[in-house]
Amino acid sequence: VYTNVDTERFSATPGLRERMRAELHLDAQTPVLIYAGRICAQKQPAVFAEVMRELVRTKQRFVCLVIGEGEDLPWLKRYISRNHLQAQVRVLGAVPNDVMRDMLAAGDIFFLPSLMEGISLAIYEAMAMGLAIVGADVGGQKELVTGDTGILVQRAESAAVEAQRYI
């Protein structure tokens, strides 16, 4: 496997989705988004945050799990708090790789609005777990994400404009 993604390990085992959703206190009908990686400029936390704010504003039903750490995590936590997003956006911090696989099992959509990427290993893992992808049309993502597996969004000059493209 040239991507180093073990698709036998990164596959939803029977009952894992239900177990993880129960542990996270999520019902089966609530769409779960996952935003995972280093919380830094490259992963565009401002775009992510604005999309989440707009989804809450328009009363969309969802929960988003933020998984990772980085220099922009304190800013993101403040944004979530100031905009009263805590009920829908849960910041979990860094988790070990085996726990990450379990978190992916609970998800429906993997959200990655990166500024730049090669071909994202995180997207490979999410796809192996059966998640739809919503991400930036950067780097080699078109080689991986097709209309059958997700949506790639064109970058914009400002975070506000780019966030609107995701909505």
- Structure confidence by residue, pLDDT tens digits, 113-154: 999 998 888 998 999 899 999 999 999 899 989 999 999 999
pLDDT reported for residue 4:
64
More confident residue, 91 or 97: 91
Strand partners, 64: 33, 89
Strand partners, 91: 66
Computed on alpha carbons and rounded to an integer, the radius of gyration of the chain in Å comes to 15
Closest CA to 35 of 81, 84, 80: 80
Q: Report phi then psi at 12, rounded to 5.
A: -70, 115
> Residue 90's CB: how many other CB atoms inside 10 A?
17
pLDDT reported for residue 2:
52
pLDDT reported for residue 6:
63
Q: Are 90 and 32 in contact (CB under 8 A)?
A: no
